[in-house]
Structure 1
Amino acid sequence: MEAAPASWLNIRAAGVLAHVSSLPGDYGIGNLGAGARGFVDFLAEAGVRYWQICPIGPTGFGDSPYQLFSGRAGNPYFIDLGELKEEGLLTDTELVPLRALPASQVFYGALYERFWTALAKASDRFSASGKDEIDAMGSFKEFRAANAGWLEPFADFMALKAHFQGRAWTTWPTELRRWTPSLRALFPDAVKKEAERHAFYQYVFFGQWDRLRRYAARRGVGIIGDVPIFVALDSADTWAHREVFQLDADGQPTVVAGVPPDYFSALGQLWGNPLYDWEYLRGTGYQWWIDRLRAAFELYDIIRLDHFRGFDTYWEIPADAPDARTGQWRTGPGAAFFTAIRVALPDAKIIAEDLGYIGPGVVALRRGAGLPGMKIVQFAYGHDANNANLPHYYPPDSVAYTGTHDNVTTRGWLESLTEPYAGKVAEYFSLNGSAKSAWPIIRATLATVSRLAVIPMQDLLDLPASATFNRPGTMDGNWVWRFTADDLAKLRADKVATLKHWIQLYDRTGDRPVRDYSEPPAH
C-alpha cells in the first residue's frame, strides 16, 4: 500500500450503541417502527450524531447477530407488525400472543413460535390480494428484480431449511447442496411457497429500514453498522458461494476459524466459521468482499469491521479438531485487500475493530489503510502491560467506548473491581468514593481526544451487570436485554440535558471538522 490515505474521521462526535432487538416495541422484540423513531428522537435531542447497532441479519441457533443465515438479508423479527395490521394484512387478534411477551427481555423461544405464524399470514394475504406494493414501500416486483443476486438464494435457503426441519445445508441431499438459479424448479410446491414468503419478508424489512434511516437522517443521526469478518457455515452466503471458502467437494469445511489458547482460555476458542480462500479472492480482485461492503454502505453511514486482525493474520484450525490448540497462524490478505476496497469504495467510512492482544503488524495495517481503531475505557487498567487503553494514550484517530456489546455494563465493571485496580480507577476518574455509577466514566469517555465516542445504552441507563448484552464464551442469557419506552422517557427527563451539555462542552456536536491550527475568535 502506498502512502496512507487521510483518515475520514475528521470531526468530533458522539454515538450511542443499542441493537435493534433492544428497542421498545409491542411484539416481543425491538423493531423498526415507533420505538426506533422515539429512540432517534432522543439521540437528536441530546445532540448524539450516531446510532451504532450490531448486525441486522437473520439469526440462527443461539440468536447471535454474529452468526447469521445471511449477511445481506434483514432479520424479519425487526419488522413492525403494526404496519402490516394497518395494511389489513394482520388482525388485532392475531397480534395478541405477541403483545403478551415481556417488554424488557427477548424470549426467543416464544417469539419463534408466535412471530413466524403471524408473518406467514401477512405474506399469504398480500399474495392473495394481487397487490404489488405496500404503502410507500415501492413495487415488490421491482424490489425482487433489483436484489435478485442475494435475495433468491436466501429465500431458497430459508425455505429448504424449514423443509429439512432446520438441518444445516451440508446435510441436505447432494443435488441441493449448491445453489443455482434453476434449483427452485426441483422444489415441492410447499417449499416454493415458503421461498415466496421469505422474499416478501425482505421486501417489508427493507421498506421499513429505508424509512427509518431517512427519518434518522432528517434528525441529523447517522447509523454505524457492523460487518463481521466471518460468515456462518450454515448460511446462504456459504451455500451460494462455496468457491469463496475452504470447503471440500461435499461442502464441508476443511479448516475453521478461532483463536489460540491464551490467558483467558487454555483450549483457545473454536468458532467453527469457514475460512476464506484468500488466494481465490485475490484472483477475483476481492469482488465478493467489495460487493459485501458496498451492500453494507447502502444501509449504513459507517461500518465497524469486526475482527480486523484477521486481515493481517488469522488462526486456522483443522475442521476435525476438538479445540483450538492445534491451529496455526496464517497470513491474511493484508494491504492489498484494503487497497482494492479503497479503489472500489473511495468514500467508505470504516472503523477497525482492533481489540484484544494484537501485534505491530495489525497496527501498521490499520494505519496504512487510514482506518480509526477502537479504545475501551473498561480496559484502562489490567488489560495489557502497555496500558494502551488508558485515555491519556488515545490517539485522536480512534473511537472511544466505555464498553462494547461484549463488555459487562460499566456500572457492573466498577462494582466488580478489586484492588489494586479499584483504587487506580477511582483515582484516575476522580470517583471520590461516590456510589458506583457509569456517568463519571461516560463523561471521561466524551472528554477523550478520540474523535468519536460511543456509549452503550445500558451505561446511559446506569444499569448493573445483569443488563450485559453478551458474555463471550457463554451460551445462555445473551442478546436478550431490552429497554422499555418508560426507561427511555425517564432517561430523557433526567439526563438528556446533562448529556447534551457534555457533548457541547467537549466539542462533540459533529458540525465542523477538526483543524490543527488556531483561528481568531468569531465576532
Structure 2
Amino acid sequence: MMAGERVCGILLHVTSLPSYGGVGDFGPAAYEFVDFLAAGKQRLWQVLPLNPTGYGNSPYSALSAFAGNPLLISVELLVRDGWLTAERIAGLPGNTGPCEFVQAEAAKMPLIEEAAGNFLDRADEASWKRFQVFCEKNASWLTDYAMFDVLRRRFEGASWNAWPREYALRDAGTLAALHRDHGRELAMVQAVQFFFNEQWCSLRGYCSERDIRILGDVAIFVNYDSADVWTHPELFELDEERRPIRVSGVPPDYFSATGQRWGNPLYKWDLMQNNHFDWWVARVRRSLALYDVTRLDHFRGFEAYWSIPAEDETAIHGQWIKAPGRQLFQRLRELFADASGRLPFVAEDLGVITKEVDELRKDFDLPGMRVMQFGFADRGGHMYLPHEFVPNCVVYTGTHDNNTTLGWWKDNASEAEKENFETYLYKLPYDEDVVWAMIKAAASSVAATCILPLQDVLHLGSEARMNTPALPDGNWSWRYAPEQLHPDLSEKLAAVMAMTDRDGYVPPATNS
C-alpha cells in the first residue's frame, strides 16, 4: 500500500471460492469474485497462505514455506489449456457446500498429475521454455520440495523423521539414486508447481488490470514435518537425531491457564544472522513473487519468542528469548524497500504487545492491525476503536480467527459489549444492522487500509466462521454459494467506498 492512500479490500481465502471440484481454486469462480471486488470498488484481496497444507487442512500448517498448494489448481483451466479432456473431469464434486478436502484430494490430484504427465510428454516449445525458466528460477527450493513430496507419498504420508534413516538424514548417495531412478516423478511434481504458478500469476494479473492488489500471508514459523526442516535442519533447534529441542507457542494468559504449545521447531537465529538471513531473504522473495503486500503472522515473535522445552506437553515452562528482528528487517529493507524506504509488510500485532515490539514495528514503518470486535469489552480494548486509530494501520471488522460480525453479536458478545457498541455507534433497531454499522465505522476511520471478511459483506452468522483457534475439527471449510455475490452488495460497497474516499477517486487539479 502506498503511503497516504486510502483503500479497502476483502478477506477471502482461495479455498472459500465456490469452485468446481470440491475446494475453491484459481478457476472461473475466482475471476467472478475479482469482478465483484472491482464492481464494489475494492482494491485489495487478502488471502491466507497458499502453501500445501498438512495437519487439519490449515493454511498455517504447511508442508513447505515456498511451494504452492496443488489443490488450488483449477482442473477446468487444465482442460482449457489442453492438458486434460473435458470428459476426464466429469463427475467431480460440485461447487456448493463446504470444502471437502479429503474427497477433493482423492478426486483432483490424480487428474492434476495426469495433466502434469501430459505436459511433460507434449508441451509446445513456448510452454516448455516457461517451465524451464520456472524451474531454474525456483531451483533453490523446488528441487528439494520435489524430493520431499515424492518421498512423503512413497512412505504413505509419514513425517520425514519416520522415513528410513538414509532418507531422513539426506544421505547424498541415496538422494542421487532418487534423482537417477525417479526423474519422471520428480519432474511431475515440478510440473504441478508450474501449473500452480501459471494459474496464480494469470489471476493476479487479472486483479492488477482492475487496480486490485493481493495481500498475502506468511506464518512466522514452519512445520517440523516440512520440506524446509528436512532440507535445512541446521537452521532449526534440533538434536543429533534431528528431533526438536525447543518448540514455539505462547505463554499462559487470560484465555488459557497453560498457554498454547504450537510445536513448531524454533530457528537458530544466531546462525541465520551470521548467514545474512539468507533463508528469510529467499522466503520474502518468494512471497513477493506471489503477493503485492505480505502480512507477517505473529509479528511479536520477531522481537522475542516463547521457547518451550520440546518434551513439555504445555507451554507453562517456556521462556521469552530475544530474536534479532531489528537486524532481519534492516536486511530486508536493504533488499525489498520501495523508493520511499517502505517495506511491503503488514505486522500482525494482536494480543499482548510489549513496548519493544511496538517500537520494532514503528521503526520500520509497518502498519499494525486493529480488529473492531475487540474494542467493546472494556476500556483496555479501546485501542481497537476508530478514535484511537492512526493512518498507518489496517482495520478489520474481524479476521479469519474471529467469528463473523453477525455471529459475534448473536452468539459471543456480552450484554456489556452490546451496550458499549450501541453507545459508541448508535441504537440498532435490528440485530442485523450491526454488520453494516461495523463496516461503515471501519471504512470511515482514519486507517489507511480497511479489510472486510466476505462473510460480513454477505451478512452471515456463526455458520460461516472460517476458523476457531484450538478447535481440532471443522475449520477452514467454509465456502460461499455462487448466488450470494449479488450485484446489490457490490453497489452498496461501492457507495460506502465513495463516501469514505476509498474508491481511488483522484480530484481534478485546481489552480491556486
1:133 deviation in Å?
5.3
Query: CA distance change for structure 1 residues 179 and 502 in 2, over 3 Å: closer, same or farther?
Result: farther
Alignment of 1:381-420 (within 5 A): 381-382=376-377, 385=380, 387-416=382-411, 417-420=413-416
**How many percent of aligned residue pairs carry the same amino acid?**
38
Tell me the CA shift for residue 119 of structure 1: 1.4
Please state how far the C-alpha of 1:340 moved relative to its aligned partner. Answer: 1.4
Give TM-score scaled by structure 1 length. 0.92
1:474 to partner: Cα distance: 0.4
Return the letter of the residue paired with 1:426: E
SS in 2 for 1:139: helix
Match of residue 374 from structure 1: 369
- The corresponding residue for 2:64 is 70
User: Hey, what's the Cα distance between the residues in 2 that align with 1:127 and 1:520?
Assistant: 55
Letter in 2 for 1:203: F
> In structure 2, what is the equivalent of residue 352 of structure 1?
347
Contact 2:245 2:309 in 1 (8 A): yes
Where in structure 2 are the equivalents of 1:50-61 lying within 5 Å? 50-61=44-55
RMSD of aligned Cα (Å): 2.2
Instruction: Report 1:34-183 matches (<5 A).
Output: 34-98=28-92, 100-101=93-94, 103-129=96-122, 131=124, 134=127, 139-179=130-170
Specify the SS of the correspondent of 1:325: coil
For 2:471, the equivalent position in structure 1 comes to: 474
Q: CA deviation at 1:400?
A: 0.2
Q: Would the aligned equivalents of 1:378 and 1:410 in 2 still touch at CA under 8 Å?
A: yes
CA distance in 2, matches of 1:112, 1:80: 13
- Name the CA distance, whole Å, in 1 between partners of 2:378 and 2:90: 48
Q: Counterpart of 1:387 in 2: which secondary structure?
A: helix
Indicate how the Cα distance of structure 1 residues 426 and 92 shifts in structure 2: closer, same or farther if over 3 A, else same.
Answer: same
Distance 1:13 1:188, change over 3 A: closer
Q: 1:431 to 1:202 in 2, by over 3 A?
A: farther
| 1:278 corresponds to which of 250, 269, 275 | 269
CA drift of 1:17 comes to 0.5
Relative distance call for 1:395 and 1:179 in structure 2 (3 A) is farther
Q: Matches of residues 211-290 of structure 1 in structure 2 within 5 Å?
A: 211-290=202-281
Give the SS at the match of 1:298: helix
Cα distance in 2 for residues equivalent to 1:74 and 1:285: 26
8 Å Cα contact 1:159/1:192 also seen in 2? no
Instruction: Give the Cα separation in 2 of the matches to 1:86 and 1:395.
Output: 47
Paired residues, number: 506
Match of 1:292, as an amino acid?
R
One-letter amino acid matched to 2:233: R
Separation of aligned partners in 1, 2:333 and 2:67: 24
1:333 counterpart (316, 324, 336) = 324
Matches within 5 A, 1:20-35: 20-35=14-29
The answer to whether the aligner puts 1:507 opposite 2:501 as a matched pair is: yes
Structure 1 residues 169 and 512, CA gap change in structure 2 (3 angstroms): farther
| 2:200 is the counterpart of 1:209 | yes
Hey, what's the Cα distance between the residues in 1 that align with 2:467 and 2:215?
Answer: 19
The structure 2 residue matched to 1:436, chosen from 432, 452, 473, is 432
Cα distance 1:429–1:215, how it changes in 2: closer, same or farther (>3 A)?
same
* 1:406 to partner: Cα distance: 0.5
Residue 187 (structure 1) aligned with residue 158 (structure 2): no
> Does residue 365 in structure 1 map to residue 360 in structure 2?
yes
Asked if 2 retains the 8 angstrom alpha-carbon contact of 1:24 and 1:103, the reply is yes
Q: Which structure has greater helix proportion?
A: 2
- Residue number in structure 1 paired with 2:418: 422
Separation of aligned partners in 1, 2:381 and 2:114: 57
- For 1:272-291, what per-residue CA distance to the aligned partner results, in whole angstroms no more than 9, with x for missing partners? 11111111011112121111
Shift of 1:232: 0.8
- The 8 Å contact of residues 132 and 141 in structure 1, kept in 2 or not, is answered as no
What CA deviation, in whole Å up to 9, does each residue of 1:189-209 have, x standing for no partner? 885443222111001110111
Task: Give, in whole Å, the separation in 1 of the partners of 2:496 and 2:169.
Answer: 54
1:424 alignment partner AA: N
- Alpha-carbon deviation of 1:94? 2.6
Letter matched to residue 314 of structure 1: Y
Q: Is the 8 A contact 1:70 1:154 kept in 2?
A: yes
The 1:202–1:511 alpha-carbon spacing in structure 2 relative to 1, beyond 3 Å, is: farther
Q: Is the 8 A contact 1:380 1:391 kept in 2?
A: no
* 1:264 Cα offset (Å): 0.9
For residues 472-512 of structure 1, the C-alpha deviation after alignment (integer angstroms, 9 at most, x for no partner) is: 01011111011132111x2xx22222211111111112456
Moved more, 444-453 or 260-269: 260-269
CA drift at 1:324: 0.8
Unaligned runs of 5+ in 2: none
Work out whether residues 69 and 234 of structure 1, in 8 Å CA contact, stay in contact via their aligned partners in 2.
yes
Judge conservation of contact 1:256–1:316 (CA < 8 Å) in 2.
yes
Taking a change above 3 Å as real, the CA distance of residues 511 and 283 of structure 1, as seen in their structure-2 partners, is farther
Q: 1:318 aligns with which of 300, 309, 325?
A: 309
The range that moved more, 381-390 or 144-153, is 381-390
In the alignment, the residues of structure 2 paired with residue 498 and residue 383 of structure 1 have an alpha-carbon distance, to the nearest angstrom, of 32
2:179 and 2:186 in contact (8 A); partners too? no
1:426–1:433 contact (8 Å) kept in structure 2: no
d(CA) in 2 for partners of 1:181, 1:31: 37
* Structure-2 change in CA distance of 1:472 and 1:132 (3 Å): farther
Q: Give secondary structure in 2 for the equivalent of 1:324.
A: coil
Where 2:6 maps in the other structure, the secondary structure is: strand
- Give me the whole-angstrom Cα distance separating, in 1, the residues matched to 2:171 and 2:210: 43
Contact 1:153 1:179 in 2 (8 A): no
For the 8 Å contact 1:123–1:200, the answer to whether it is kept is yes
Residues 353-389 of structure 1, C-alpha deviation per residue, up to 9 Å, x if partnerless?
A: 0001112111111111110100001001226725211
Q: Does structure 2 retain, via aligned residues, the 8 Å contact 1:97–1:114?
A: no
Q: Report the equivalent of 1:487.
A: 484
Identify if the C-alpha distance between structure 1 residues 110 and 258 changes in structure 2 by more than 3 Å, giving closer, same or farther: same
Is the contact made by 1:25 and 1:34 (CA closer than 8 Å) also made in structure 2?
A: yes
Looking at structure 2, the residues matched to 383 and 157 of structure 1 have their Cα atoms a distance apart, in angstroms, of: 49
Q: Given the two structures, how large is their TM-score scaled by the length of structure 2?
A: 0.94
- 2:145 and 2:421 map into 1 onto residues whose CA distance is 48
Indicate conservation of the 8 Å contact 2:167/2:175, yes or no: no
Contact 2:40 2:489 in 1 (8 A): no
| Cα distance in 1, alignment partners of residues 511 and 375 from structure 2 | 38
Q: Return the offset for 1:16.
A: 0.6
CA distance, structure 2, for counterparts of residue 419 and residue 47 of structure 1: 35
Which of 443, 464, 469 is matched with 1:446 structurally?
443
Q: Which moved more, 1:260-269 or 1:425-434?
A: 425-434
Supply the distance in 2 between the matched residues of 1:384 and 1:162 (Cα, whole angstroms).
Answer: 52
1:254 and 1:109, CA in 2 relative to 1: closer, same or farther beyond 3 A?
Answer: same
Q: Quote how far apart the aligned CAs of 1:24 are.
A: 2.4
Contact 2:404 2:455 in 1 (8 A): yes
